[in-house]
Each structure stands twice: as C-alpha cells, then as structure tokens.
Amino acid sequence: MFANIGIKRTNINNTVSFVLLVGLSAAFILPLFWMITTSLKPIDQLLLDPPVWIPSPLEFENYPNALEAQPFLQYLGNSLQIAVAAVIGALISNSLVAYGFSRVEWKGRDIVFVLVLSTLMLPYHVVMIPLFVSFSKIGWVNTWLPLIVPAWLGHPFFIFMLRQFMLGIPKELSEATRIDGGSEWILLTRVILPLCKPALATVALFQFIWSWNDFIGPLIYLNDRSLYPMSLGLALYHNSQGITDFSILMAASTMAVVPIIIIFFFMQRVFIQGISLTGLKG
Amino acid sequence: MLTPRNRRELRKIGVGLLFISPWIVGFLALNLYPIIASFYYSLTRYSPISSPRFIGLFNYEKLLYFDPLFIKALTNTLYFVVFAVPLGNMLALALAVLLNQKVKGLSLFRTIFYLPSILPLVATSIVWTWLLHPQYGAVSVIMAELGLPIISWFSDPHWAKPALIMMSMWGTGWMMLIYLAALQDVPQELYDVASLDGASLWRKFRHVTVPMISPIILFNTIVGLIGAFQYFTEAYIITEGGPGDSTLFYSLYLFQNAFAYFKMGYASAMAWLLFLVILILTFLIFRSSAKRVYYHGN
C-alpha cells in the first residue's frame, strides 16, 4: 500500500515536471519562433498592431532579398573558412600540447599545467589592446590571421579536456609501443589520437562554434567588407536598417543561426559528451 | 658532469617542452607579453599615432575620481553581474533538476534549453531587439493579452538592463548541461536513505542535491562571473550603451575608449582594474565557499 502511494507521488512529480518543462520550453522557443515567423512575413503584415503570429501567405522572397541586400553568402563563406582554419589548428595544437601534459613524464610538468589553467582567468580585455598593437605592427590588421593563428597555439580549455581524456588511457599501451622502438610521435599519431576521437570531435565542435560566433575579434581587426564574417556583416546591416526591414533582417539572422542548429542536431551526442569529458561532474 | 640518469631526465624535459611548444609560444605571445604591455600602457598616454608617453598613475586617478562615465559603467556592470549570474545559475539548476526527473522527451527539452546558448550572439541580439519591440514585438502582444502594461524595454532606461538580464537567462543552457551531468552523478542511495527518513522533496534538494553538486555550483558561479564582467556583444548590438548610458557596461566603455577615442593607455588602465576586480572577487568567493563546498571522493 505504501509502495502504491510512492508510485503515485512520483507520477505526480513527473507530471508537474513535465508541465513546467513544456511551459519553459515555450518561453525558450519564443525568440526563435518569432525570428522565423517574421522572416516569412510579407511587408504589409510586418507592422500590424496587434502583430500576426503566422503570416499568410508566407513570403519566402525575404530570403533572396536578404542575399541581395548584403553579400551574405560571401559572409557565410568567410565565416566558414575562418572557422575551418581555426578548427584544424585547434586539433593539431591541442593534441600535441595535451600529449605533452599527459603521456610524457617530465619534471615540472604539473606546475606548468597549473599555469595553463590560470590563463583561463585572464579577461580578454587585458590582452586585447597590446595584441591589437602587436598585430598591427606586423601588418596583420585587416587579415584573418589574428582570428586564426591564436587557435593554432592551443587553448587552456581544450588542453585540459584532452589531457583528462589522455590520462584515462592505460599507460601500458604506451610502454608496449616504446619497447617496440616507436617514437613518441608514432605513439601519438598511431595509438593515442585514434583513441581520442570523441574528445577531438568535441574540440572541433566547440572551436567551430567559437569562431563562427566571434564578434569582437572581427570587429577589431577587419576593415574590408569582403573579409567580413557573418557576425560582423549582420551587425553592420542591422545598424544601417530601419524598422521596415525587420523581415529581411530576420531572414539574415535565420541564415546565421541555421548552420549552428544543423551542426547541433547532427552532433548532439558530442555536445553532451563534451560536458562530461571535461571532468566537470561532481 | 651529467650522469646518465640526469641526461635521461633532461631528454624527457626536452621532449615534454617540444610537445607543449605551441602553448609556450601562445602563452608568451598571447598572454604574458600582452599582460606586461597592457600594464605598461596603463601608465602612459597612448594613441595609435603617437608612441606611449609615461604619465604614472594618472589614468587610474582619472578613472576613479574624475570620470563619471567610468563609475556609471562600473555600477551598470555590477548591477548586471549581481542579477544575471545568480538568476542564470538558479534557472539552469532548476531546468537541470526538472530534466533529471526522468520525464518523457528529455533529449528534446534538453535541446530546446541548450540551443540558445550556442547561437551567434549577433543574430540572437537582433532577434531580441525585435522580440521586445514595444509595439510590434511578440512579448508586447503576450503582455497585452494578459492585461499587463506595455514596457519599452530597450528604450526605457529602467527596463533596458532587466531586458538584457532576461536575454542572458535565455542563454543559460550551457550551465544547465553542466548541472545535468553533475546531477546524474549523485548516487541514488542518498535519495533513498533520505526518503526512508521521510525527507520532503525540498529537504532532499537542500540537503542531498545541493551539497553533492556544490563544486559545480562554485564552478558555474565563477565562470558566469568572469563572463558577466566582460559582457559586450549584446549591449553593443542592441542598445549601444543607451538609453541615457543605462547599458553602458564596462567592456563597452573600455572598447569605446580603445577603438573609438583611441585612448589606448586609458583603456588599458580600465582593463587592469577589471582584472583586479575579477581576481579579488574570485578569491573572495573561493574563500567564503571553502566550508560550504563538499568534495567527495575522486
């Protein structure tokens, strides 16, 4: 009898949770729903008071119009190139560095590793100005290099994550290869990295999103419109537009958001894994 | 003379340093040198067209005593930090607890809550400008339906900051995901024992869940705090500091000084003060939480 009451109570809890979740989901979806529905509004339905939730007819022309209003396809292409270049760099550099911090034993390693982690605390604004001065001295302003090269030099978050992952691989695996006369390089590329695929996927994914979403970097470094990534192109377009262009603006925003949503749906498991890989569990 | 043992040790250090060399280069060029240079610049008057001229602590004095906009930016940022960090944290934890109830459609809900936090801020900022438009925005429609007064959100100095805080709570999904992972690690036995003792849901949450995930609460608080102090993109896109400087946040004012007024020395002094504030607050949070955070085995 008591067991029954217990079951009923968990059912009620589950129902309450479910209802709450549905309500909160609606609130979380609202901005994106509003973005998509506005992007499909014909101009005469954009400024109705009260606004319409779902326009009829749907105006798909807003998308080609957005592509004409600004070279958004070029911006998307630029974003893609920057992000891919950064991802390649992040995969190579963080693998090497994490290997040095986990599979090679050397004096002082763990002290240096604390230094790696401590740089996570450093606000970007402290390094922003000297970096700008340095990069302009070597002629990197108005190029993509300041947005790409730092990714080739490792990031503490990725180093930490890959290190944790590599530490979890049994030592005996390395010993066997070393006895066979294999060098550390062969060990890394043939043995360790193939085992790190889930962690590497997480690195690639997060670096891609960071590069894709980065705004302050392009804002500081890029002047030529032909070099703009999506984030900067969209911001400038937003600043130059009045209220009547919101359906086109929403179409452009949708185009900036959709690649990330697609990637998320295809790699959902990797995202979720990323969290546990960092060892952030209680 | 090097013994063979020492030689082997040295060789290992060499191999280790070789592998971490990308990070060493990055650390020297992207962290250490800029930190030192930034501090030096903060003691100078420096615009990109002239070389830095040493003026001692003048920038700091001016910031603290003679720049009302700086004080405004600092208080705006503190306002934002004080509300956005705890509210975002609590919402994230609440969502994670709800998702942890083994409800149906877990992965769909998880997606809905997480997704906003990884979308490009420029795009979502534009969307929110439109969403909170006093006349044509969806939120105004809903509030009118409910008989609530119409609020001008981003164009009202009293509501601009709450609106941005609301938007930042919408982006709390990454924190939720971290909490969810932590909650799934809390041993079920602890809840079972608490149930046997007749503990209510709230007491279980308060005396089992919270202590078990306290390191994660601490982590999320500090990461959230560091992020909130650097809050920039949304304010830059949506309000540009207005109306009436009500959303002139620290990073925005710093950026304006550096790249609109070209006061690089002055902006560097701001950056260093920000760094100090973050360091001190983090240290205080660590210290005050030391007794309350529970680290269980492994």
Q: How confident is the model at residue A276 (pLDDT cuts 50, 70, 90)?
A: low
Within a domain: B295: no
Within a domain: B298: no
pLDDT at A51: 79
Mean pLDDT of A79-100: 97
Q: How confident is the model at residue A3 (pLDDT cuts 50, 70, 90)?
A: very low
Residue A251 has pLDDT above 70, yes or no: yes
Within a domain: B246: yes
pLDDT at B105: 87
Inter-chain contact A282–B22, Cβ cutoff 8 Å?
A: no
Mean pLDDT of B48-54: 87
Q: What is the ipTM, given to two decimal places?
A: 0.90
Distance from CA of A84 to the nearest CA of B (A): 16
pLDDT at A272: 73
Q: Answer whether B91's CB lies under 8 Å from B172's CB.
A: yes
- What total of structural domains would you count in chain B? 1
Within a domain: B39: no
Q: Count Cβ neighbours within 10 Å for each residue of B65-79 and write b for 16 or more, e otherwise.
A: eebeebebbbebbeb
Give burial (CB, 10 Å; 0-12/13-18/19+) of A95. Answer: buried
Q: How confident is the model at residue A278 (pLDDT cuts 50, 70, 90)?
A: low
Which of A249, A277, A69, A49 shows the shortest CA–CA distance to A162? Answer: A277
Q: How confident is the model at residue A282 (pLDDT cuts 50, 70, 90)?
A: very low
Chain A partners within 8 Å of B113 (Cβ): 24-25, 28
pLDDT at B298: 40
Mean pLDDT of A102-128: 92
pLDDT digits (tens, 9 = 90+) for B164-188: 999 999 999 999 999 998 898 889 8
Q: How confident is the model at residue A215 (pLDDT cuts 50, 70, 90)?
A: very high
Q: Which of A50-59, A134-143, B134-143, B148-157 has the lowest mean pLDDT?
A: A50-59
pLDDT digits (tens, 9 = 90+) for A144-201: 999 999 999 999 999 999 998 899 888 888 887 777 767 888 889 888 999 998 889 9
Inter-chain contact A215–B17, Cβ cutoff 8 Å?
A: no
Range of the domain at B239: 69-289
Distance from CA of B27 to the nearest CA of A (A): 8
Residue A49 has pLDDT above 70, yes or no: yes
CA distances from B54 to A15, B57, B79, B266 (A): 67, 9, 34, 12
The values of phi and psi at residue A228, to 5°, are -60, 135
Residue A252 has pLDDT above 50, yes or no: yes
Distance CA B242, CA B161 (A): 10
Within a domain: B165: yes
Within a domain: B61: no
Residue B233 has pLDDT above 70, yes or no: yes
Which domains, from first to last, does chain A contain?
70-240 (1.10.3720.10)
Both tokens of B82, joined, read 């004080």
pLDDT at A48: 78
pLDDT digits (tens, 9 = 90+) for B91-108: 999 999 999 888 888 889
Distance from CA of B153 to the nearest CA of A (A): 15
Distance CA B243, CA B248 (A): 9
Inter-chain contact B16–A122, Cβ cutoff 8 Å?
A: no
pLDDT at A1: 40
Mean pLDDT of A44-72: 85
H helix runs in A138-245, sequence order: 145-148, 156-167, 171-179, 184-186, 193-195, 197-213, 216-221, 230-239
* Arithmetic mean of pLDDT over chain B: 92
Inter-chain contact A99–B131, Cβ cutoff 8 Å?
A: no
Q: Which residues pair with B54 in a beta bridge?
A: B44
Percent residues over pLDDT 90 in chain A: 56
pLDDT digits (tens, 9 = 90+) for A223-234: 999 999 999 999
Nearest by CB: A101 against B20, B34, B135 = B20
Within a domain: B125: yes
Mean pLDDT of B155-172: 95
> Which distant-in-sequence residues (6+ apart) come within 8 Å of B278 by Cβ?
A121, A123, B225, B226, B229
pLDDT at A111: 93
Instruction: Tally C-beta pairs within 8 A across A and B.
Output: 276
Nearest by CB: B122 against A25, A235, A261 = A235
Q: What is the CATH number of the domain that holds B139?
A: 1.10.3720.10
Q: Which of A170-174, B17-21, B69-73, B285-289 has the lowest mean pLDDT?
A: A170-174
Indicate the SS3 state at residue B55. coil
Within a domain: B48: no
Distance from CA of A157 to the nearest CA of B (A): 12
Residue B79 has pLDDT above 90, yes or no: yes
In the DSSP assignment, the letter for residue A122 is: S
pLDDT at B290: 77
Inter-chain contact A264–B111, Cβ cutoff 8 Å?
A: yes
Residue A68 has pLDDT above 50, yes or no: yes
